[in-house]
Chain A
Amino acid sequence: NAGVTQTPKFQVLKTGQSMTLQCAQDMNHNSMYWYRQDPGMGLRLIYYSASEGTTDKGEVPNGYNVSRLNKREFSLRLESAAPSQTSVYFCASRRPGTYSNQPQHFGDGTRLSIL
């Protein structure tokens, strides 16, 4: 019963390097989300995919790109990493529901440090 799986769990990058964070869910959920969480702050939405084939910007999309590869997988790419992108990244998924009443379920997170 894996739920939402994120890889890798930890990563250290140098400024300017690129990297893709992977997320996969096995709950047959339609919607998937990428967040970042910085110390003392709540989660901020980077990008989301309401359904397979669609992606939209969230609150803090600059410096990131996403791909909804299929219904299960939603990846987040940093093209040229910057120290300001040091954070914990969470992927979440949600099944469809009336009036947004379905909760989101989170993966374990990826802890990313950029030097």
Chain B
Amino acid sequence: QKEVEQNSGPLSVPEGAIASLNCTYSDRGSQSFFWYRQYSGKSPELIMSIYSNGDKEDGRFTAQLNKASQYVSLLIRDSQPSDSATYLCAVTGSGNTGKLIFGQGTTLQVKP
């Protein structure tokens, strides 16, 4: 069973701090990695994608990928109360079906 693991949290950070969310995956053949944000009662919304080892930055968000260690992380700089949500890590398996395997999500709470 291919798995994606996240700490369910909640992860609590003060406003303005850096929030660090982590994800590990078991399938070494995985090629694409996504972070989705999900507000309570809403659908998942794509915030970052990453395909190559290293860092990818988009505004206050930075995704980091280390395929050798099989982990993906998401950093949120200058965290805002509006960032409070559940963050889902999703990983594709081998092949090109586009199927995603999701972690259980990490709940982030940003306190004013």
Residues of A within 8 A of B (CB): 31, 33, 40-45, 48, 50, 56, 58, 90, 94, 97-109
Contacts and interface: CB of A to CB of B under 8 A. Distances in A.
24 contacts: A31-B97, A31-B98, A40-B104, A41-B104, A42-B6, A42-B103, A42-B104, A42-B105, A44-B102, A45-B101, A48-B99, A50-B98, A56-B97, A90-B44, A98-B96, A99-B32, A100-B31, A100-B92, A100-B95, A100-B96, A101-B51, A102-B98, A105-B46, A108-B43
Interface string B77-98: 0000000000010101001111
A90 B46 CA distance: 14
Contact of A42 (B42, B45, B88): B88
Interface string B3-20: 010101000000000000
A84 B90 CA distance: 24
Nearest to A106: B43
B99 A45 contact: yes
Contacts of B88: 42-43
Contacts of B103: 42
B98 A104 contact: yes
Contacts of A48: 97-99
A61 to B, nearest CB: 13
Contact of A107 (B43, B49, B51, B102): B43
B32 A101 contact: yes
Contacts of B104: 40-42
B34 interface: yes
Given A90-B44, A104-B46, 6 more contacts: A40-B104, A42-B4, A56-B97, A100-B96, A106-B44, A109-B43
